[in-house]
Amino acid sequence: MFESSSIEESTKNFNLPKLYEIAKNSAQIGNDILKNNYNKIQTISSKGRKGDLVTNVDLEVENKIKEYLIDETPNISINAEESGKLNKSSDLTWCIDPLDGTTNYSHGYPFFGTSIGLVYKNKPIIGAISVPYLNELYSACIGVGSFCNDIKLKVSTPQNLSNSLLVTGFSYDRFETEDNNYAEFCYLTHKTRGVRRGGAAAVDLAFVAAGKVDGYWERGLEIWDLAAGAIIVKEAGGIISDYPSGEFNLSSGRILACSPSLKDELKKELNKVSPLKKNLYT
């Protein structure tokens, strides 16, 4: 978990309200382009790993957001999924996932979004996630709270794991590694009311913040998958940690996000699970 109070003190000289508005505007840019191009994709290609796709829409969203951020905040670094890093002499970095859920989007499956996170020295401080098909914009700024369309969010309060609904995902390297979440998915499906697989990590995290699901865990993620969602969950009163335990580290690619009432039980159950052996599913 990261301590908000110390980060708030360190960032007090930044104009956080203005940066917060810029983040929301950026997510809205993505929202509009994704809506306008839904079911109208022109090109789809693979980035090398099975299931890891990029479309012309990913690139258009990223380019438009980068143009906007460079105009508005020329001294802030950028780390974007498709074009990589643009480094400036700043402790702040914008993390851009232009289309989280590209596979879903390319198939016309309506679970996807644009995610914009602002990170201070590898700690998330501002986030905005648009979910176009639901007309929802999730956002948070450190010390301010989390919101969906300006309505304040609060994580759910399930009494125990057995009456919870969870969500998870499977990374692109799941075909090569035993550390792939399959066993945890099966195990927790039997311990809860159900486990969903949405296919868009940022949206999963937004749904934890909104109380639509009670917990989320995943591995093999990138900084742009996590930066916005982590602060949105944290500011909604949720618990953020590594998975299955340990302090949250944005660079680890691993996250456990849940209601405080589930934290201990969910970590305990995740620690019980051993990976499936490769020869069971290849």
In tens, the pLDDT along 71-116 reads: 999 999 999 999 999 999 899 999 999 999 999 999 999 999 999 9
Summarize pLDDT for 25-35 with one digit per residue, the tens: 999 999 999 99
First-to-last alpha carbon distance for the chain, in angstroms, is 36
**What are the backbone angles phi and psi of residue 170, rounded to the nearest 5°?**
-125, 125
Residues 148 and 35 both lie in one domain: yes
pLDDT at 2 over 80: no
CATH code of residue 207:
3.40.190.80
Mean pLDDT, rounded, for 160-174:
90
User: Is the dihedral angle over the CA atoms 5, 11, 12, 16 positive or is it negative?
Assistant: negative
pLDDT of residue 270: 94
Mean pLDDT, rounded, for 142-156:
97
User: What is the number of structural domains in the chain?
Assistant: 2
Higher pLDDT, 6 or 68: 68
pLDDT of residue 242: 93
CATH code of residue 42:
3.30.540.10
The helix or strand, by DSSP H or E, that contains position 127, with its residue range, turns out to be strand 123-131
How much is the pTM? Answer: 0.93
pLDDT of residue 281: 52
- Residue 99 is part of which domain span? 4-152
Tell me the percentage of the chain whose pLDDT exceeds 90.
Answer: 83
Residues 139 and 19 both lie in one domain: yes
**Token pair listed for 180:** 């792939």
Residues 52 and 91 both lie in one domain: yes
Is the N-terminal amide bond of 244 cis, ω within 30° of 0? Answer: yes
